[in-house]
């Protein structure tokens, strides 16, 4: 009886330990930031790639193009290989789907309605691939794998318009509210899944190379550059004169691909392996013209970027830029709403705010702030209105998209200052007008 109890106790202990190890491996709470970088990169790459394919829409994926529907169906061996293009009848359906797909790619890149658009992008990517299998190559295979992981992951919670909307909603209630960064065990699990995907990709790529004579003999890189697809006279001249470079590059590629899946997990070796993987993909892009493939691979590798590295980078940026304080009119509804919008883009929380009505500034007088919003800096400078915004947009990464508007030589200041001054002078009227519209909308509802 005692033995049975001991066995049960032992089994339970083993089960608990395995469970703890499993949880530690998969379910460590993590922010989504590494996945968000992948999301933005993949969204941008897909948008550019398929945007440039638009003129060939019917040649590539149409029924009267390179790959008639019947031929495509014979190429696909499995009934589970499906494409929405198989169900289209009229040309407008191709055009509408392509347009929706491109919009979804743009939305994925920006993180707008991410939870829905990511599925449209995945369905689109798979549909384009299966409709014309001859067009797809390595990068399309990787894209489908990464996109599916992004689909199951809780992305759009950081560095996205969805995050901006969430922060803005909170700031509208109270500008001082701090919305903490999203972090969850499921996010950590999805990051891990993408890491495993990349490590497996390198592992299988390495062992399949080891089976080939070109790689064993150290000539593979030479042969790559002699093929018509990657021919480069200058590179071949250099390699032919210094053939040891061919061996070095061939064995170096093998070494990195073999080492990567084993050494990428350790804290000390990760930065080196990650740098090496990025390095070889930059080489593929520059020397072999594989820009799209290399960029997508690098985006996949972003899953190995530790959130702490990004946090440290953010802190270093904050320290370098220094403190910024915006002094605004808390009695003006329009100003508060504008501040809520503005602060929603300040993901690093670089900007401090001060409502001069309840907390007057020692640097700027109330009379000055009555006329315009002010930005004060640690060196004692105070920038009014347009100049304040102009200073901030260059120093807050979330506002960089506004830089073109604020930094066009001559024109930005020529138009920007009067526009700002007019808005500042009429802010009370704008506030009441907007409030009236808002109230009437509420009544209507």
Partner 1 sequence: MSAPLEARSINEGRSNIASGRVVILARWRQRLTYLVMSGFLAWHTLAMVVAPAPDNSVLAQSVRPVFQPYLSLLRLDNTWDFFAPTVGKGSQLRYVIEDETGQRTTFVPAEELSWYHPAYFWFRSWYYSIIESPDAYADYAAAFFCRKHASLRPVSITLLEYQEGDFWADDQLSGKHPMDPEFVTVNTIKQAKCTGS
Q: Taking CB under 8 A as the rule, does residue 69 contact partner 1?
A: no
Task: Candidates 6, 13, 17, 56: give the one binding partner 1 (CB under 8 A).
Answer: 56
Chain position carrying tokens 């009555």: 370
Task: Candidates 44, 57, 106, 135: give the one binding partner 1 (CB under 8 A).
Answer: 135
Contacts of 194 (CB under 8 A, 6+ apart): 35, 38, 146, 149, 300, 303
Q: Taking CB under 8 A as the rule, does residue 183 contact partner 1?
A: no
Question: Cβ 78 to partner 1, closest distance in Å?
Answer: 4
Nearest of 77, 75, 95 to residue 85 by alpha carbon? 95
Tell me the DSSP string of 222-265. HHHHHSTTT--HHHHHHHHHSTHHHHHHHHHHHHHHHHHHHHTT
Chain residues 141-170 in contact with partner 1, contact rule CB under 8 A: 141-142, 144-145, 148, 152
Chain position carrying tokens 């200073």: 391
Residue number, 137 or 272, with CB nearest to partner 1? 137
Question: Cβ 117 to partner 1, closest distance in Å?
Answer: 18
Task: Candidates 63, 138, 166, 218: give the one binding partner 1 (CB under 8 A).
Answer: 138
Question: Cβ 100 to partner 1, closest distance in Å?
Answer: 19
Residue number, 199 or 336, with CB nearest to partner 1? 199
Residue number, 141 or 434, with CB nearest to partner 1? 141
Residue number, 121 or 336, with CB nearest to partner 1? 121
Burial class (CB in 10 A: 0-12, 13-18, 19+), 38: buried
Sign, Cα dihedral of 65, 66, 69, 71: positive
∠ CA 428-429-433, nearest 5°, is: 120
Rounded to whole angstroms, how far apart are CA atoms 178 and 167? 8
Where are the extended beta strands (E) located within 267-334? 324-328
Rounded to whole angstroms, how far apart are CA atoms 347 and 166? 12
Phi, psi of 375 (to 5 degrees): -120, 125
Question: Cβ 388 to partner 1, closest distance in Å?
Answer: 41
User: Among 10-18, 153-161, 225-233, 334-342, which window interacts with partner 1 (CB under 8 A)?
Assistant: 225-233
Q: Which positions from 14 to 33 touch partner 1 by CB under 8 A, shown as an x/- string? A: --------x---xx------
Q: Taking CB under 8 A as the rule, does residue 325 contact partner 1?
A: no
Rounded to whole angstroms, how far apart are CA atoms 166 and 395? 22
Rounded to whole angstroms, how far apart are CA atoms 321 and 378? 10
Chain residues 231-250 in contact with partner 1, contact rule CB under 8 A: 231, 236-237, 239-241, 243
The DSSP element (H or E) to which 112 belongs, if any, is none
As a whole number of Å, the CA-based R_g of the chain is: 28
Residue number, 22 or 248, with CB nearest to partner 1? 22
Total of residues contacting partner 1 (CB under 8 A):
68
Termini Cα distance of the chain: 71
Residue number, 78 or 308, with CB nearest to partner 1? 78
Q: Taking CB under 8 A as the rule, does residue 228 contact partner 1?
A: yes
Instruction: Kindly list the residues in this chain that would bind partner 1 in the complex (CB under 8 A).
Output: 22, 26-27, 49, 52-53, 56, 60, 66, 68, 71, 78, 80-82, 122, 125-126, 129-130, 134-138, 141-142, 144-145, 148, 152, 186, 189, 192-193, 196-197, 200-202, 204-205, 208-215, 220, 222-224, 226-229, 231, 236-237, 239-241, 243, 289, 291-292
């Amino acid at each position: 009886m005692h033995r049975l109890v001991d066995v049960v106790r032992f089994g339970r202990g083993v089960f608990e330990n395995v469970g703890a190890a499993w949880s530690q491996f998969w379910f460590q709470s993590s922010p989504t930031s590494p996945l968000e970088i992948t999301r933005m990169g993949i969204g941008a790459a897909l948008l550019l790639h398929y945007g440039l394919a638009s003129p060939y829409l019917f040649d590539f994926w149409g029924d009267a193009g390179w790959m008639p529907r019947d031929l495509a169906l014979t190429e696909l061996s499995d009934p589970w290989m499906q494409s929405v293009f198989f169900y289209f009848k009229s040309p407008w359906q191709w055009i509408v789907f392509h347009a929706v797909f491109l919009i979804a790619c743009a939305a994925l890149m920006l993180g707008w309605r991410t939870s829905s658009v990511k599925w449209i992008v995945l369905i689109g990517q798979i549909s384009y691939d299966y409709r014309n299998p001859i067009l797809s190559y390595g990068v399309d295979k990787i894209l489908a794998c990464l996109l599916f992981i992004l689909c199951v992951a809780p992305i759009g919670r950081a560095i996205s318009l969805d995050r901006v909307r969430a922060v803005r909603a909170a700031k509208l209630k109270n500008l001082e509210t701090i919305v903490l960064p999203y972090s969850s065990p499921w996010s950590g699990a999805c990051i891990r899944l993408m890491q495993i995907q990349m490590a497996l990709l390198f592992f299988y790529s390495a062992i399949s190379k080891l089976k080939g004579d070109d790689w064993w003999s150290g000539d593979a890189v030479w042969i790559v550059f002699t093929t018509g697809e990657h021919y480069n006279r200058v590179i071949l001249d250099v390699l032919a004169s210094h053939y040891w470079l061919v061996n070095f590059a061939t064995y170096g590629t093998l070494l990195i691909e073999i080492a990567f899946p084993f050494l990428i997990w350790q804290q000390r070796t990760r930065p080196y392996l990650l740098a090496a993987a990025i390095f070889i993909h930059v080489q593929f892009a520059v020397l072999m013209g594989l820009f799209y493939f290399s960029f997508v691979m690098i985006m996949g590798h972003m899953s190995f970027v530790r959130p702490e590295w990004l946090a440290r980078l953010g802190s270093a940026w904050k320290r370098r830029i220094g403190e910024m304080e915006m002094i605004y009119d808390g009695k003006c509804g329009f100003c508060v709403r504008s501040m809520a919008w503005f602060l929603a883009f300040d993901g690093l929380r670089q900007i401090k705010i001060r409502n001069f009505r309840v907390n007057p500034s020692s640097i700027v007088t109330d009379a000055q702030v009555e006329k315009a919003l002010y930005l004060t800096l640690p060196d004692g400078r105070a920038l009014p209105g347009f100049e304040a915004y102009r200073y901030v947009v260059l120093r807050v990464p979330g506002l960089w998209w506004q830089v073109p508007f604020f930094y066009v030589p001559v024109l930005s200041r020529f138009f920007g200052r009067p526009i700002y001054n007019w808005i500042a002078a009429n802010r009370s009227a704008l506030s009441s007008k907007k409030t009236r519209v808002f109230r009437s909308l509420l009544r209507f509802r």
